Structure 1
Amino acid sequence: MSRTLYSLCGKDTARPFSPHCWKTVLSLGHKGLDFEERPLPFSAIPAAEGGFSKTVPILRDGDYLVNDSFQIALYLDEAYPERPSLFNGEGGKAMARMIESWSQTTLHPAIVRIAVVDIHDMLEQKDQVYFRESRTRALGKSLEEASAERDAEIAAFPQKLEPLRRTLSYQPFIGGDGPLFADYIVFGALQWARIVSGVDLFGADDPVREWFERCLDLYGARGRSVTPA
């Protein structure tokens, strides 16, 4: 069965950067499933698969289409129950929902303030216009105003990782002895920052850095296939 993952890129199709798409890349690796990745610029997403979704990731698995990284993970566990689970039960799903909420309310806003101008500069001109207009509207300020305290955000970021740091003092992954979808949620956010800005968001001798390096090495070091900015 052929599989296609539609993800997000800028001018360079070899540098897909969406945090949500990276969750799905590692989810497919976790399941041991082959797939072709097709990175798209913002302007091409609405036409993908006949307008199936306004956002990526989109996964085509044979005749089946599914979008949204969490929905894709749920689909993969249901469609391939004989392969390693992404959740290990209902408790794992509930944990992943909490981790997703923490990541999107704590990590993502900070990364936007750090990287929003870098993301803009990665895009083709047509996509830059869309990105500037949509993000200015969402942020309530210009991209440059949003990133005015970039250095302070970078300095403050390691403290935002303290819940993960404490968890990793007990176990090598959020999922325990091995990674689960909850790990891929946080990895996606940090991989996003790594690819678009190349900033160091970890503390000195940080267990979170060690965890992130382990995640980069998963599934044939797929995370390292895109180098830092």
Structure 2
Amino acid sequence: MSIKLYDLVGKDHSRPFSPHCWKVKMALAHKGLSFETIPTPFTAIPAVEEGASKIIPVIRDGDTIVSDSFAIALYLEHTYPHRPTLFGGEGGEAMARFIERWSFLTVHPFIATSALMDIYERLKPVDQAHFRKTREARFNKPLEEVPVGRDNRLETFRANLAPLRTMLGDQPFIGGATPLFCDYIVFGALQWARVISPYGFLAGDDPVDAWFQRCLQLHEGLGASVPAAA
């Protein structure tokens, strides 16, 4: 039986964009597990598995329901230990926790503010109303004002990727010779940007972009199967 993954979408169900859902998809593929995605817009989340979680991703594996991307990765690791590891042991789990915090603090904020209107424009009207209400409360300003000045902040964003950029001079993946869940954490954020917005977050000659392109081709091109936003 396939694992069910509730996957965040806008008007176009073929363009799922949640960074956290992308982490889980890559983790499931890494483990070689069969899964089916259930397109889920923002306003449908409260009904997922009879209100099992206020957030997605959510997976159902038989009778087990798990929410939160990191919790799902841990569940997959411990439930399917004989399949390829997502962490490489306890040290890898701890390292992935650090990478997740770094990504939340360094990568997510610039993408979230810079691509805000791109996200809004790809939603159905009912989800636009929800998105506007929740995001204007979060940012304390009209939605249209949030991305203003993103070009002036772009170089700072790229500079803040220096730890990842310099590390990739020594190894092809964050996980070392092969990818681990820590790679999927950062990949999910950049895939979010790629799928939802045509804005150039990475320079074409950036080693981070070269790493991202490698990640797009993993698992039979799972990430690349969704075209970049135009």
| TM-score, structure 2 normalization | 0.97
Partner of 1:179: 179
Counterpart Cα distance in 2 of 1:189 and 1:114: 13
| TM-score, structure 1 normalization | 0.97
| 1:93 aligned partner, one-letter code | E
**Conserved? CA contact 2:106–2:157, under 8 Å:** no
Counterpart Cα distance in 1 of 2:34 and 2:21: 15
Calculate the aligned-residue CA RMSD, in Å.
1.0
Q: How many positions carry a matched residue from both structures? A: 229
Partner of 2:33: 33
1:39-188 → structure 2 map (5 Å cutoff): 39-188=39-188
**Conserved? CA contact 1:9–1:39, under 8 Å:** yes
Structure 1 residue ranges, 4+ long, deviating more than 6 angstroms after superposition: none
**Conserved? CA contact 1:114–1:154, under 8 Å:** no
Counterpart Cα distance in 1 of 2:48 and 2:221: 28
SS at match of 2:37: strand
1:204 is displaced (CA, Å) by 4.6
1:113 is displaced (CA, Å) by 1.5
User: Among the aligned pairs, what percent are the same residue?
Assistant: 56
Per-residue Cα deviation, 1:76-103 (whole angstroms, up to 9, x for no partner) = 0000000011000111111111111011
Relative to structure 1, the CA distance from residue 125 to residue 204 in structure 2 (aligned partners, 3 Å threshold; closer, same or farther) is closer
**Conserved? CA contact 1:154–1:201, under 8 Å:** yes
Partner of 2:22: 22
SS at match of 1:201: coil
The answer for unaligned runs of 5 or more in structure 2 is none
The answer for unaligned runs of 5 or more in structure 1 is none
